[in-house]
Structure 1
C-alpha cells in the first residue's frame, strides 16, 4: 500500500492528443473529462483522484515543468497514494518518462500514458490506455519498478521505451528488451524487472538547470561539423549520435576532441537500438579513437535519453568523472 493512509491512485493530467476533443481550436479536455470517458474505470474499485496540472503539449514541455509534475506526484505518494498516473502527449513521452525515472525515489509506481488518436477519432486509444495505466499504478507487481510507460496494454520501462512510429496506435516499443509486461484480461503481468539505481537529486537549482544546456549532434553523411563550431560558448555539454557502433567522419575528430577538453561529450548511436562499442574499431573516427580523445561512452542509452541524463547531471554540479561513472552504470 502507500506510504501513508491509502488514497488509491492519483491521476495528473497534462495536455496532448489524449486531451484534444476536436472542434474548437485550443480546446482541451480536463482530467475529469478524460477519465469519465473510460469504460470500466469505476469497476476497478480503485480510489482515483484526478488533478489537472499543466495544459501543455508535450513538444513544449520543459525539464522544469516535468520536474514540477514529479514533485506533485511525490507529494501525492507522501500523502498516501499507492501510485500515480500521468497523461500527456506522446511526442516527448520517452524523454519525460526517463527524466521522471531518474529522480523518482518511491516504491509506488509512476505510470505515464497518452494516446495516438484523438478522442473523437474512430478507434481512439486513450480510454483503454488510461484504464491499463490505472491498473498498473495500483498493482503490487509494479511497485519498485520506477517510471513506467503503459500503452496498448504493454508495460514498458522508461529506461528502454521509444516512440518508433509517427501515427500507429502501436507506436511505442522497447527495441533492446521488449516490454516488461502486459495487461491481460485486466491483470497486470510483469515478466521482466528493469534494474533500478539510486535516484538522482530532483531538487537541482532551476537557474543552474536552465544554464546547463546540452546540444545533440546527429552525425550524417559527409558531415563537415559546422554546427559544432562555437559550442563551448553556448552549451555545457554535448551528445553525439554517431553512425552504427559510435563512428563519425574523420574530419570531425579534432573538433570533438577539442570539445571534450571543455565539456562532457557523450558518444551514442543514432541507430535506435544496440550499444556503442569501446575497442573493436581503431581507425580515425572510430569508437576507440573517440573514447581515447575523452568522449564518454553512452552504452545502450539512446541520444535522447543520454541528453536527459547529461543535463540533469550537469545541473546537479557533477564533474566529468562523476558523469562518466553515471553513464557507465546507467548506459
Structure 2
C-alpha cells in the first residue's frame, strides 16, 4: 500500500502543531560558483543563498531554519564530519526540531547517507540531497531537489524512516541508493530495490519502508582504517597482503555472489585471523550467497575461512558499516551480528 502525506506540514505521525525543520549545508555542487571567467567552480554559496533560490519555500508555512555546517566538496567530507553532523542533529531533535535536510556534494552521498542512517537514532527524518548541475549552469537542479527534500522532511509519514536521499523527485532508502551516473541529473537510483517513494505534485508518497539499523553508537571510541580491494580478472593476489598491511579491517569487492580468485584465498584467510574481513558483491545489486558454490574462493569457502558476508550491502556501504563498527570499538561478535541485520 502506498502512503502519502495529507499536507506538507501535517501527517499521520506529527503531533507538534508548530514543527520546526532545519537545513544543514556542507557544500557541494549546489553551493558552487565561479569567482571569474575561466575558473572552475568552488563552494561559495551558503545555506541562506540556497534557500533564496527556492521562492516556494520562502512563501510556504514551513518553519525552516538554515545552518552552514561545512563548506566542502563532497569528496572532502570525512567520517568525523558525519559523526559531528549526526550529533548535531541529535541535539536539535532533542530541542524540538522535527526534521532535517542535509545538502551536500553528490560524490559521496551514497556513503554519507548510509553512515547517517547508522548513526541517527531519533525518529525525525533526515533527508540528504544535492545537485548535479551547479547554480550557474542552465537547468540547475539544486533548487528543485532542495524543495523536494524539504517537503519530504516535513512529511509526517517520513518520521521513523531514518535517513533518505531525495534527488529528481525520487525518495531512496540510504541502504540502497547508488550514484549510477557521473553527470546526469537522474544519476541516483536504487538498483536492488527501486525508490522507496516519489513526489507527486509536490507530495511525498511512500511505497515501502526498510528496517532501521541499530548497531552503531556515538561517540566513536577510536580511530580505524578499512581498506577496500576489488577482485579483477587475472589479479594473482601476489601483493594482496601489502594492500591491507596497515589496516584494522578489510572489505573485498568480490565477483558475482561473493567469489575471489583461488590465489587470493591464503592471504584472505590469514587476514581474517587478524582482523574482520568482509566480502561483498562488486555488481552493486543483489546479495552475496552463502551455500551455493563450494570451490576454493567461493562464498562457502570464504565463510568457512572466517570471512563475513555483506549480504545485499554493496562494497562501499559494507566498508562504511565496518569502519563505523570498528570506530565504535565493536567486538568481532557484534560486527558479525551487525552484518547479519542486513
2:338 to 322, 326, 331: 326
How far apart are 1:56 and its partner, in Å?
A: 1.1
Corresponding position of 2:132:
116
Corresponding position of 1:222:
234
Q: Does 1:278 align with 2:281?
A: no
2:164 to 126, 132, 148: 148
Q: Does 1:315 align with 2:324?
A: no
In structure 2, C-alpha distance between the alignment counterparts of 1:302 and 1:271, rounded to whole Å: 8
Gaps (5+ residues) in structure 2?
A: 1-12
How far apart are 1:231 and its partner, in Å?
A: 5.3
Corresponding position of 1:160:
176
In structure 2, C-alpha distance between the alignment counterparts of 1:67 and 1:271, rounded to whole Å: 29
How far apart are 1:260 and its partner, in Å?
A: 0.6
Q: Does 1:295 align with 2:307?
A: yes
1:51 aligns to what SS in structure 2? strand
CA RMSD in angstroms, aligned pairs only: 1.7
Q: 8 Å contact 1:3–1:77 — kept in the other structure?
A: no
How far apart are 1:134 and its partner, in Å?
A: 0.4
2:193 to 167, 174, 177: 177
Q: 8 Å contact 1:22–1:118 — kept in the other structure?
A: no
How far apart are 1:232 and its partner, in Å?
A: 5.9
How far apart are 1:178 and its partner, in Å?
A: 0.5
- Counterparts in 2 of 1:225-264, with a 5 A limit? 225-230=237-242, 233-264=245-276
In structure 1, C-alpha distance between the alignment counterparts of 2:239 and 2:59, rounded to whole Å: 55
Corresponding position of 2:218:
202
**Number of aligned pairs?**
326
Q: 8 Å contact 2:43–2:72 — kept in the other structure?
A: no
Q: Does 1:57 align with 2:69?
A: no
How far apart are 1:71 and its partner, in Å?
A: 1.4
Q: 8 Å contact 1:114–1:151 — kept in the other structure?
A: yes
Cα deviation 1:274-323 (Å, max 9, x = unaligned): 00111111111111111111110110000000001001111122122221
How far apart are 1:237 and its partner, in Å?
A: 0.4
Q: 8 Å contact 2:27–2:43 — kept in the other structure?
A: no
Q: 8 Å contact 1:9–1:83 — kept in the other structure?
A: yes
In structure 1, C-alpha distance between the alignment counterparts of 2:15 and 2:81, rounded to whole Å: 25
Residues 41 and 4 of structure 1, relative CA distance in 2, 3 Å threshold: closer
Corresponding position of 2:34:
22
How far apart are 1:79 and its partner, in Å?
A: 1.3
Q: 8 Å contact 2:145–2:166 — kept in the other structure?
A: yes
How far apart are 1:228 and its partner, in Å?
A: 2.3
Residues 226 and 29 of structure 1, relative CA distance in 2, 3 Å threshold: farther
2:128 aligns to what SS in structure 1? strand
Cα deviation 1:190-212 (Å, max 9, x = unaligned): 1111112325202112xx1x3x1
Q: Does 1:90 align with 2:78?
A: no
Corresponding position of 1:44:
60
Q: 8 Å contact 1:11–1:49 — kept in the other structure?
A: yes
In structure 1, C-alpha distance between the alignment counterparts of 2:239 and 2:316, rounded to whole Å: 18
How far apart are 1:181 and its partner, in Å?
A: 0.5
Q: 8 Å contact 2:119–2:217 — kept in the other structure?
A: yes
Residues 220 and 179 of structure 1, relative CA distance in 2, 3 Å threshold: same
TM-score, L = length of structure 1 = 0.95
Residues 297 and 278 of structure 1, relative CA distance in 2, 3 Å threshold: same
Residues 255 and 142 of structure 1, relative CA distance in 2, 3 Å threshold: same
Q: 8 Å contact 2:258–2:280 — kept in the other structure?
A: yes
Cα deviation 1:79-106 (Å, max 9, x = unaligned): 1111000100000000000000001111
1:252 aligns to what SS in structure 2? helix
